[in-house]
Amino acid sequence: MSRMNMVQALNSALDVKLAGDPDVLVFGEDVGFFGGVFRVTEGLQQRHGEGRVFDAPIAEAGQVAVAIGMGAYGLRPVVECQFADYIYPAFDQIVSEAARLRYRSGGEFNAPITIRAPYGGGIFGGQTHSQSPEGLFSHVCGLKTVIPSNPYDAKGLLISAIEDDDPVLFFEPKRLYAGPFDGHHERPAVSWDGHSKGDVPTGRYAIPLGEAAIAREGGDLTILAYGTMVHVALAAAEETGIDAEVIDLRTIVPLDIAAIEASVRKTGRCLVVHEATRTGGFGAELSALVQERCFHWLEAPILRVTGWDTPYPREFEWEYFPGPQRVGAAIRRVMAE
Amino acid sequence: MDGEGTLRLHIPGARFRPGDRPDFSYLRLPPAGAAPRPPVDAPAIATRDLAFGLVRTLDDDGVAVGEWNPGLGADELVRGLRTMALVRAFDERMFRAQRQGKTPFYMKCTGEEAVATAQTYALRPDDMCFATYRQQAILVARGTPLDEMMGQIYANALDPTKGRQLPVMYTAKSRGYFSQSGNLATQFPQAVGWAMASAYRRDTRIASGWIGDGASAEGDFHQALVFASVHRAPVVLNLVNNQWAISSAQSVAGGEESTFASRAIGYGIPGVRVDGNDYLAVFAASRWAAERARSNHGPTLIEHFTYRAAPHSTSDDPARYRAGDEWERWPLGDPIARLKLHLVRAGAWDDGRHSAMLRAVEADVAEADARAQALGVHGDGPHHDPLTMFDDVYKDMPWNLREQRDELAALPGRAT
């Protein structure tokens, strides 16, 4: 065990895989000598060599295409897309190619690639450094989408993603890199030091994709969240005094539907929280699934707290960000029904 | 200032449209044998004349001349001739199968057979090809049973894509043939990635990537050349300039202002523009590029200058957008006729053997088609259980797909 923040935990996951599997290689913008703008690949080139951890041309479409070709060969490339906001040039290669390669070839070829991307807001990044595009990818069959909320999960999930034989999008909430941010931006930042999820094994361990975690047990209300919103939901539960159960989905595709059903059938109420824009977002899918599968247990309409349907505005970050105040208000509304 | 005034927008188009009399005298066609063959470690800039010129080996009399003459033996040339004829016969048969309703779609490569045939024989059998829809000759040259290819077209039990893909979107991993996409240009940078992986593993296999003149306008083309150059990927990058992207002339993709091969030089990649209807020239350029790749000198861009004699697909009618006799007037001729002439002039072939060979390949195609059709054609299936549509989305089927499969399975009277 070692104390790690999320950056260190992700670095450790890559380090473990690079050391243990010669088919793993890491590339992307600035990931080589420099170690990445968020330092996730720090020291990896020095430890594992230039041939395995290297800077790639700034062309996300090219990076993913090259990774697909490498995957078809039999390697397990890990691509860092410097910000999730920059992933769109690679959309065709991800959606039309990586996602469908196994299917269209009848299983002859597959794309065992991992695309890591720092994601989400809370750092005054404005509309090009704050987005949460998971809903664009969760809509695409053939892709898996992972969003960790803490260092321990981040490492175990990234190892699973790299070992997975299907393409995985791995979105890293960058506001959680240094500490468990609960939306109280007015308070001093908290580090992962002393947080139970900041104790991370130094060796290999895997957290299966598709298994949610119960971040907080409760009996009155289920809050479905992932990434930064897990911490916001926890804060809102404490502050409202409502006995909420917070489910950290961890992977949205594949989705742990059994954990969701079990919790909602227990509590009878459900709130969905995500930072991404609302319309057509993953929360809509969650809301529909809960309605289809738990209707007879529901005592109140399912509500969503999300980013507004606007681009992410820099100067109005905290009006946009779904913080504990908005989540708390929604909790009270669901409980009042 | 001279020429200043209101601005003018240039809209390129085709030189000839229906009703025009095509005149290709504007093409600058250097004589066969004129192009020098640089050593395989030549820098990109040393290929400038090759990239703007045209490598040709067969002169008008069918005699192979110049440094690019690969010196192939008669047996190898007859093999190439036979493969091209087989591909043409296969295309004719499948085109008719579409007209007969046995497949919803087909695409011929008529007039372009030399490009993929000669390159395939210049590669090793286990080099990986990332083809488009007009390089069926790769599969034929590598000995793929024709009924297997037809099975994909008919979506019957022989179809490795299990009835999921558009006809002609082959996949054949064991034959070094990457799963075709249908989305244009995406395979070009993937070929570079495969080649990088082969170099990373210190393998000896190289990759061969393919793209058309029209699709070279996509960003994937640029990314492929950037990554190939930056990482000196062992890849042969082929651009088949067959003059037409459905109805859009190659000028719309940038072929009017420069040659496609010349783009390579700006990336630090050697570029070679080759007479794509000259089997020997394509073979020689491909072998040169493959040698470069295999000896760690990196990628080469080959522009195969040819002509799409066929419609784009069975859904296309070129009479609506191009002059009807362009193919007859194409100054670089028919690759099969030209190689035949060469062999005849060399005393290794004659009309009698040629006719017998044509009859033989047609018989081969007919027999293969009989075997393939015995397993069913499009429309009398489905030949795969529709429930298999839920397979291979992921390695392991998640709960939502299991539920959807069960939902379909429970429908009364579903076709299986």
Q: Among candidates A277, A275, A274, which has minimal Cα distance to A286?
A: A274
User: How close B146 gets to chain A, by Cα (Å)?
Assistant: 18
A159 Cα to chain B: minimum distance (Å): 17
Smallest Cβ–Cβ distance between A104 and the set B179, B230, B400 belongs to B179
Beta bridge partners of A277: A307
**What is the DSSP track for A269-285?**
-EEEEEEEESTTSHHHH
Mean pLDDT over the full length of chain B: 97
What chain B holds in terms of domains, given with CATH numbers, is 25-316+327-381 (3.40.50.970), 385-416 (no CATH)
Chain A residue with minimal CA distance to B160?
Answer: A106
Hey, are the CB atoms on A65 and B181 less than 8 Å from each other? no
Would you state the structure tokens that stand for residue A63, as one six-digit string? 């990076």
Residues of chain B neighbouring A92 (CB-CB closer than 8 A): 183, 186
Q: Is the pLDDT of residue B381 over 90?
A: no
Residue A336, min C-alpha distance to chain B (Å): 33
CB-based contact A5:A190 (threshold 8 Å)? no
Q: Could you give phi then psi for residue A35, rounded to 5 degrees?
A: 90, 15
Beta bridge partners of A247: A214, A224
Q: What is the mean pLDDT of residues B162-182?
A: 97
B165 → chain A, closest CA residue: A104
E strand or H helix at B248: strand B248-249
Checking ipTM against 0.95, whether it exceeds it is yes
The full length of chain A comes to 337
Tally Cβ neighbours within 10 Å of residue A91: 16
Give yes or no for residue B415 having a pLDDT over 70. Answer: no
Given a contact cutoff of 8 angstroms between Cβ atoms, the answer to whether A200 and A151 are in contact is yes
Encoded tokens for A94: 């991800």
Average pLDDT of the residues in B136-155: 98
- How many Cβ contacts (< 8 angstroms) between chains A and B? 142
Quote the pLDDT of residue B4: 81
Q: Residue A73 is inside which H or E element, if any? A: helix A60-73
- Cβ–Cβ gap B395/A92 under 8 Å: no
Q: What are residue B194's DSSP bridge partners?
A: none
Angle, vertex CA A277, rays to CA A273 and CA A283, nearest 5: 40
Answer yes or no: is pLDDT of B3 > 80: no
Is B190 within 8 Å of A72 when comparing Cβ atoms?
yes
Question: Cα–Cα distance between A260 and A154 in angstroms, integer?
Answer: 21
Catalytic residues of A: 129
Among partner residues A109, A144, A253, which is closest to B179 by beta-carbon distance? A109
pLDDT, tens digit, 9 for 90 and up, residues B224-256: 999 999 999 999 999 999 999 999 999 999 999
Instruction: Kindly give the pairing relationship between strand B248-249 and strand B244-245.
Output: antiparallel
Q: Which residues from B are below 8 Å from A257, CB to CB?
A: 399-400
Residues B209/B130, Cβ–Cβ less than 8 Å: yes
Q: CB distance B192–A166 less than 8 Å?
A: no
DSSP B337-382: HHHHHHHHHTTS--HHHHHHHHHHHHHHHHHHHHHHHHT--TTS--
State the Cα–Cα distance between residues B187 and A37, nearest whole angstrom.
Answer: 30
CB atoms within 10 A of CB B367: 12
pLDDT in tens, B251-267: 999 999 999 999 999 99
Closest Cα in chain A to B390: A103
Calpha distance B149→A118 (Å, rounded)? 44
Q: Which domains does chain A have, with CATH numbers?
A: 2-200 (3.40.50.970), 213-336 (3.40.50.920)
Give per-residue pLDDT as tens, B6-62. Answer: 999 999 999 999 999 999 999 999 999 999 999 999 999 999 999 999 999 999 999
Sheet holding B207-212, edge to edge: B128-130, B207-212, B235-241, B300-305, B271-275
- For chain A, the 3-state helix, strand and coil shares in percent, each to the nearest 5, are 40, 20, 40
Q: Is the model's pLDDT at B2 over the cut of 80?
A: no
Instruction: Classify B40 as helix, strand or coil.
Output: coil
Of A69, A166, A254, the CB nearest to B194: A69
Q: What is the pLDDT along chain A (337 residues), one digit of tens a residue?
A: 999 999 999 999 999 999 999 999 999 999 999 999 999 999 999 999 999 999 999 999 999 999 999 999 999 999 999 999 999 999 999 999 999 999 999 999 999 999 999 999 999 999 999 999 999 999 999 999 999 999 999 999 999 999 999 999 999 999 999 999 999 999 999 999 999 999 999 999 999 999 999 999 999 999 999 999 999 999 999 999 999 999 999 999 999 999 999 999 999 999 999 999 999 999 999 999 999 999 999 999 999 999 999 999 999 999 999 999 999 999 999 999 8
What span, in angstroms and rounded, lies between the C-alpha atoms of A269 and A299?
Answer: 6
pLDDT given at position A337: 86
Which residues on B lie below 8 Å from A146 (Cβ)? none
In Å, what is the CA distance from A275 to each residue of A132, A209, A272? 7, 21, 10
What is the residue type of A76?
A: R
Query: Tell me: the pLDDT tens digits for B80-90?
Result: 999 999 999 99
Distance from CA of A134 to the nearest CA of B (A): 18
pLDDT > 70? residue B416: no
Nearest to A106 among B171, B198, B230 (CB): B171
Contact A69 B398 (CB under 8 A): no
Distance separating alpha carbons of residues B238 and B271, to the nearest angstrom? 10
Are residues B192 and A66, on separate chains, in Cβ contact within 8 Å? yes
Task: For residue B129, give the chain A residue with the closest CA.
Answer: A69
Q: Which two tokens stand for residue A83?
A: 């910000």
Concatenated DSSP letters of A292-305: HHHGGG-SS--EEE
Taking only Cα atoms into account, the Rg of chain A, rounded to an integer number of angstroms, comes to 19
Amino acid at B99: R
**Separation between Cα atoms, residue A1 and residue A200, nearest integer Å:** 5
Cβ-based interface (< 8 Å): residues of A facing B: 25, 51, 56-57, 59, 61-62, 65-75, 89, 92-93, 96-97, 101-110, 141-142, 144, 164-166, 210, 253-255, 257
Residue of A nearest to B172 (CA): A108
Which residues from chain A sit within 8 angstroms of residue B393, using beta carbons? 102-103, 141-142
Q: How far apart are CA A274 and CA A277, in angstroms?
A: 8
User: Residue B348 above 50 pLDDT?
Assistant: yes
Tokens of residue B106, six digits: 């087909």
- What is the DSSP code (8-state) at residue B64? B
Percent of chain B with pLDDT over 70: 99
> Mean pLDDT across the stretch B356-361?
98
Which residues of chain B lie closer than 8 angstroms to A69, CB-CB? 130, 189-197, 207
Surface-to-core class of residue A1, CB atoms within 10 Å of its CB (0-12 exposed, 13-18 middle, 19+ buried): exposed
Task: Tell me which residue in A72, A74, A107 faces B392 most closely, judged by beta carbons.
Answer: A107
Is B222 in contact with B194 (CB distance < 8 Å)? no
Q: Where in B74-163 does DSSP place strands (E)?
A: 128-130
Contact across the interface for B186 and A97, Cβ inside 8 Å: yes
Do the Cβ atoms of A247 and A225 come closer than 8 Å? yes
According to DSSP, residue B253 is labeled G
